[in-house]
Structure 1
Amino acid sequence: MRPEDIKRVCRNAVKPGQKLRFHCTQCGDCCRNREDIILTPYDLFQIAKYRELRPGEILRRYCTLSIDPGTGLPAVTLKPNKRTHACPFLKDNLCSVQPVKPTMCALFPLGRVVKLGNPGEATGERG
C-alpha cells in the first residue's frame, strides 16, 4: 500500500462503537497499486481450479514467492500487472476470479495485521 493510501485509511478509520459503512462501487481502485495481496494455499488451489490450471502455473504466471523478513515464513503474493500496476485478475474494473477471489480481497476493506512481540499478543488493525 502506498503511503498516501495508508494516510487515507487512517483518516477514515472506524472508531470504537461506530458501524462500518462500505459499499463497493466496482471502481477497481482497491485492486490497483497493491503489492501486498497475499494468497493462502487455499486461495492458490481455488484460483487454479477456477482457471483450470495447475497451482504451479498460477504461481509461475501471477505470483511472487518470498520469505517474510519478520517471520521467516514463505509468502505468496500476487504480482501486479507491469503496465497498469493492477492485480493480474482485474479485468474491466472487475475481478475475473470473483467467485474464488483471495481471502485478503474478500475481507476488503478490512484486513489483518499481526503484531509480533509477547506470546499470545496479536493486535493491530489495517485498512
Structure 2
Amino acid sequence: MNQDPSDTRPQSPITPVKLDLDDRFQFACHSGIACFNKCCQSIDIQLTPYDILRLKTRLQISAREFLFRHTVPFEMDGHGVPGLKLRTADESTRCQFLTEQGCGVYEDRPTACRYYALGLMSMRKKDSPTDEDAYFIVKEEHCLGHHEPQTQTVRAYRESQGVDIYDDMNREWRQVVLKKRSCGPTIGKPSDRSLQLFFLASYDLDGFRDFISTPSFDEVYVVSPQEREQLMQDDVALMRFAFRFLKQSLFGETTIPERPEAMEKRLARRKERSAATSGEAG
C-alpha cells in the first residue's frame, strides 16, 4: 500500500484526477470480498505523530519502545528531514499487525490505512498562509473494491473511516512540513540540531516530555504550572504543544512565551563555548 500521490510513473496506482470533498467515487471494502487483507500484504506506510500516539497507547508501551520495535526511519526530503514508516513483519512486506481475522489494531490503524483507497496530498502555494487538500483514487491491481457497486462522497468516506480526528490532530504538524518544503532554499539546509528537535517533537513524546522538564528549557520558555501539569499527564496536549514548539524553533512563530532575558543567556553560553573551543585549539 503506497499512499504517495506524487508518484506519477506509468505504473503508478494513482488515478491522476483531483477529487474534492463532495465528489463521488466507487469503492467498498469488507470481509466478504476476495481480496480482503491483500493490501496489508505489501505495505509502505508513513506514520504521522498521531498515528504513533494511538498505536503506542493501543500496545501499552512507551513511545520510545514503539519507535524501536515498530518503525524504520527514512528521509522525507533532500534535506534529511526525518520521517518514520511502519516496520513490516520479519523478512516480508506484510504488515506486522495483520491477523487471520484482519487488522489487529483496526480501531487505532494509521491515517494511510484509513484513507485507502484514497490518496491525500496537501499543498501550499508560495506566500499562502493556508494549505489545500486534494484527494486521488488509488487503484492497485489486487484491489477488487473498485468493482463493488457502492458509491460515496469523499467527505462521507472520510467520516466512515474516522479520518477527521486524525487529520485534525496532525494538521499543525503537516503545516510545519509543508512550510518547510515551500520555504525551500530561503531557510537553507536544516542544521543537525534542528533535525534532532524535529524528530524529538514529532515522534518521541517521552523524550520531548523529558526535554521540556529540563532547566535549560525553563530558562527560555514560560509555561504556567497548570499547563505544565497537563503536559506531564496528557499525551495529546503534549503533542499539540510540540507542534507549537516546532513552529517557533524552526520558523520563529512565537506561540510559546519566552523570557525577556533568554536571548542574553543564550548569547552568553555561545560565547563561553566559543572561548572554550578557542582555548582548546590554542
Whole-angstrom CA distance in 1 between matches of 2:79 and 2:101: 34
Q: Distance in 2 between matches of 1:99 and 1:15?
A: 26
1:47 alignment partner in structure 2: 55
Q: CA RMSD in A?
A: 3.2
Q: Report the structure number with the largest CA radius of gyration.
A: 2
Give the TM-score taking structure 2 as reference length.
0.37
Q: How far does the alpha carbon of each residue in 1:86-122 deviate from its partner, in whole angstroms, 9 at most, with x for none?
A: 1111111511111111111111111223468745486
* Distance apart, 1:56 and its partner CA: 1.2
Structure 1, residues 38-82: CA drift from partner, whole Å, max 9, x if none? Answer: 111111111111111111111111101222134642211112223
CA apart distance, 1:4 = 8.8
Q: Which amino acid aligns with 2:12?
A: I
Alpha carbons of structure 1 residues 46 and 18: separation in structure 2 relative to 1, 3 Å: closer
Q: Percent identity?
A: 22
> Does structure 1 conserve the Cα–Cα contact (< 8 Å) formed by 2:18 and 2:135?
no
Residues 4-83 of structure 1 mapped to structure 2, 5 A cutoff: 6-7=12-13, 9-10=14-15, 19-26=24-31, 27-35=36-44, 37-70=45-78, 72-83=80-91
- Cα distance between partner residues in 2 of 1:20 and 1:10: 12
SS in 2 for 1:6: coil
Change (3 A) 1:115 1:71: farther
* 1:125 to 1:4, Cα distance in 2 relative to 1, 3 A: same
Q: Against the structure 1 CA distance between its residues 111 and 25, is the aligned structure 2 distance closer, same or farther, given a 3 Å change threshold?
A: same
Q: Distance in 2 between matches of 1:122 and 1:43?
A: 21
Sort the Cα spacing of 1:93 and 1:109 in 2 relative to 1 into closer, same or farther, 3 A: farther
| Whole-angstrom CA distance in 1 between matches of 2:18 and 2:134 | 13
Aligned counterpart in structure 2 of residue 105 of structure 1, from 113, 125, 131: 113
Whose helix fraction is larger, Structure 1's or Structure 2's? Answer: 2
Question: Quick one: which amino acid aligns to residue 33 of structure 1?
Answer: S
Query: Do the aligned partners of residues 5 and 44 (structure 1) sit closer, same or farther apart at CA in structure 2, a change above 3 Å counting?
Result: farther
Tell me how far apart the structure 2 counterparts of residues 47 and 5 of structure 1 sit (CA, whole Å). 32
Deviations 1:19-46 (A, max 9, x none): 21221134112222222x1111111111
Contact residue 72 and residue 86 of structure 2 kept, 8 A: yes
How many Å separate the matches in 2 of 1:19 and 1:124?
Answer: 14
Provide the rounded CA distance (Å) in 2 between the counterparts of 1:125 and 1:15.
5
Count of residue pairs the alignment pairs up: 124
Return the letter of the residue paired with 2:40.
C
Q: What amino acid sits opposite 2:15 in the alignment?
A: C
Please give the alpha-carbon distance, in whole angstroms, between the structure 2 residues aligned to 1:53 and 1:123.
33
